[in-house]
C-alpha cells in the first residue's frame, strides 16, 4: 500500500494527453509514462523502437504475463518517484486500473477526449514516427487501442476533459480537475 496520489490518464491517440501531463508536471507531479516500459524492453532486447517492434513486444508481454503486465511493471517506477503526486500517462484498460488501485488506493482516472475528426487532424499535423498518414491507418490504430480496453477505461473515468477548445481554455480545465482531485484526497 502506498499513500501517493496517483492520476491514471487515459485517452485515444491524439486526444491531447500531453496537455494534461504538462499541466500536471508544472503543478508538481512526477510523471510515469506507461509506454516507456515497452520501449525499455525493446532496448534490453537490442531492438529498434519502431511502431512494429513495440507493438510486437507489447502483445508478447501481455500474452506471457497477462493484460495488466505494463501496469505491474510501472508500479516500482511510481513508488520510486520523487513527488507525492504522480501522473501515469497511458492507461489502456480496466485491468490496469484494478492493478494500480491495489497498490495506490488514492488513484483517480482522468480521460482526455476529442472527436475522431479533431484527433485525426492533430495527429496528421504532428507526424511523429508512429502517427497516421491517412484516415484508414488512423482508424486501424483506434481499433487496436479499443481492442485492449481503452474505451472501457475512458467510459469509467472519474473526470472527463473535453479537448476541443483553445489550448489556454483546456489548460484551465485541467488545472480545475487537478484541484478537485487534490481536494478529494487531502480532506
Question: Rule CB under 8 A: which residues touch a copy of itself?
Answer: 12, 94, 113, 115-117, 142, 146, 149-160, 162
CB of 157 to a copy of itself, least distance (A): 7
Tell me 89's DSSP state: E
Task: For residue 4, give every residue at least 6 positions away whose Cβ sits within 8 Å of its Cβ, in sequence order, or none.
Answer: 78, 79, 81, 84, 85, 86, 104, 106
Query: Whose Cβ is closer to a copy of itself: residue 35's or residue 151's?
Result: 151
Tell me 17's DSSP state: H
Query: Whose Cβ is closer to a copy of itself: residue 42's or residue 185's?
Result: 185
CB of 138 to a copy of itself, least distance (A): 12
Query: Whose Cβ is closer to a copy of itself: residue 99's or residue 142's?
Result: 142
Instruction: Quickly tell me which residue has 479537448 as its cell.
Output: 163
CB of 162 to a copy of itself, least distance (A): 5
CB of 88 within 8 A of CB of 2? no
Amino acid at each position: 500500500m502506498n499513500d501517493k496520489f496517483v492520476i491514471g490518464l487515459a485517452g485515444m491517440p491524439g486526444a491531447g494527453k500531453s496537455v494534461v501531463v504538462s499541466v500536471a508536471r508544472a503543478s508538481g507531479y512526477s510523471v510515469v509514462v506507461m509506454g516507456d516500459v515497452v520501449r525499455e524492453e525493446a532496448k534490453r532486447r537490442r531492438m529498434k523502437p519502431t511502431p512494429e517492434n513495440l507493438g510486437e513486444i507489447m502483445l508478447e508481454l501481455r500474452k506471457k504475463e497477462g493484460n495488466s503486465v505494463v501496469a505491474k511493471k510501472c508500479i516500482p517506477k511510481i513508488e520510486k518517484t520523487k513527488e507525492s503526486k504522480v501522473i501515469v500517462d497511458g492507461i489502456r484498460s480496466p485491468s490496469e486500473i484494478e492493478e494500480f488501485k491495489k497498490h495506490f488506493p488514492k488513484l483517480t482516472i482522468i480521460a482526455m477526449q476529442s472527436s475522431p475528426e479533431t484527433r485525426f487532424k492533430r495527429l496528421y499535423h504532428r507526424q511523429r514516427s508512429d502517427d497516421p498518414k491517412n484516415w484508414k491507418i488512423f482508424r486501424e490504430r483506434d481499433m487496436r487501442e479499443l481492442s485492449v480496453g481503452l474505451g472501457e477505461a475512458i467510459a469509467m473515468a472519474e473526470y472527463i476533459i473535453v479537448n476541443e477548445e483553445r489550448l489556454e481554455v483546456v489548460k484551465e480545465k485541467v488545472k480545475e480537475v487537478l484541484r478537485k482531485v487534490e481536494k478529494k484526497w487531502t480532506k
